Amino acid sequence: MRKKGYYGKFGGRFVPETLMPALYQLEEEFKRAKNDISFRKEFSSYLREYVGRPTPLYFAKNASERLNLKLYLKREDLCHTGAHKIINALGQVLLAKRMGKKRIIAETGAGQHGVAVATASSLLGLECTIYMGIDDVERQKMNVNRIKMLGAEVLPVGSGTRTLKDAINEALRDWVTNVRTTHYVIGTVFGPHPYPEMVKYFVSVIGKEAKRQIIKKEGRIPDVVIACVGGGSNSLGIFFPFLKIREVQLIGVEAGGEGIDSGRHAARFQRGRIGIFQGSKSYVLQDEWGQILDTYSIAPGLDYASVGPEHSFLFETGRVSYGFSKDDEVIDAYLFLSRTEGILPALESSHAIAFLLKNRQKYEGRTVLLNLSGRGDKDITTVLERLKKDHDKGNI
């Protein structure tokens, strides 16, 4: 029997005492909400009429012919706000209202979670503050402006690596100070219990839809399911209904950055060790003294030193295989999908596409389901700058 809040030895609730009452309250409210038909109906109504679910399952005919396989894309890029993040954001903000909270805080890297939380807060009438590393503010200007247009405050974080890790630290400090009136919307299947379980509950709609859709289209389940892994919500969301079906191969793809041996990456399962970080026990990129290492990815949503605890459990049990894609492969994948299917994929999602391109021979003749977790218009400036840099160096 699984210990509450744990996946094997991973998970837990490692936070200051001042936050424990808020976590207990959240856990109890989440339990009640799951069993409350009116909450489930309200949540489902918003997903259907506001978010635009179910999202399509698209057969990528041109890409499939190029790769000699059947590629289906779960089109989370077509959600309102442009990514899967709105699902969890709406669920948590609805819970916050049930608990009588007046204020919402969140962290964001790629900006999509920040946009989603600002959107849900505006919709449901709550004050909203978003923490974001200064480096991410710079490379995701469009999403920063979207957050502000939605009425939320963006607070740049200039400490540490000036990216997602430090934005989370600042959000946690805020929450400790304002815990009675504030709910912290963690954006992935990470953090102290009950966040990993709660976020998985909300985002599992992705996989449930995809399973029904691919059976309707193909008359069978897929051979392979692939998704990128930052904290791990989009991947766990689509993996969820297949976890107990052993014949389905599940693959998570991390950020290989400039290469695993370069030290500039965010591949926790390649170079990480087990540790406790930001409220949870999981795989963490850390040195021999337990100091958190700087991470890097061209995709800000994957630029994080740890990973959701259930992913660590799935890694150690071997149920999910975890690979990585490097920046140059990711840019090629971004252009590949853009030019074969007319779809600009988020740089995060492009990691999954890159892994498939790199390993295409292994999957020839097979049916592959890939989660296109977000749209890539937010990344156009980054891609153009990278292409110019490679051109100037004579690499293209």
Residues that are catalytic: 85, 107, 373
Strand partners of residue 228: 253
In sequence order, the 6+-apart residues with CB closer than 8 A to the CB of 157 are 131, 132, 133, 134, 166, 167, 169, 170
Enumerate the H helices of 99-229 as residue ranges. 112-124, 134-139, 141-149, 164-177, 195-203, 205-218
Taking Cα atoms as reference points, which of 88, 62, 81 lies closest to residue 73? 62
Distances (CA, A) of 297 to 155, 274, 285: 22, 21, 14
Give the C-alpha separation, 118 to 120, whole Å.
Answer: 6
Would you tell me the crossing angle of helices 141-149 and 112-124 to the nearest 10 degrees?
Answer: 10
Q: How many residues does the chain have?
A: 396
**C-beta separation of 301 from 286 below 8 A:** no
Give the C-alpha separation, 268 to 378, whole Å.
Answer: 25
Cis amide bond preceding 21, omega within 30? no
Specify burial of residue 125 (Cβ count, 10 A radius: 0-12, 13-18, 19+): exposed
Give the C-alpha separation, 207 to 211, whole Å.
Answer: 6
**C-beta separation of 252 from 232 below 8 A:** yes
**C-beta separation of 120 from 86 below 8 A:** yes
Q: Mark residue 366 as left, alpha or beta (left: phi above 0; alpha: psi -120 to 50; beta: remaining).
A: beta
Looking at residue 59, the DSSP 8-state letter turns out to be E
Structure tokens given for 136: 């991410």
Distances (CA, A) of 155 to 137, 148, 363: 9, 11, 44
Strand partners of residue 130: 106, 154
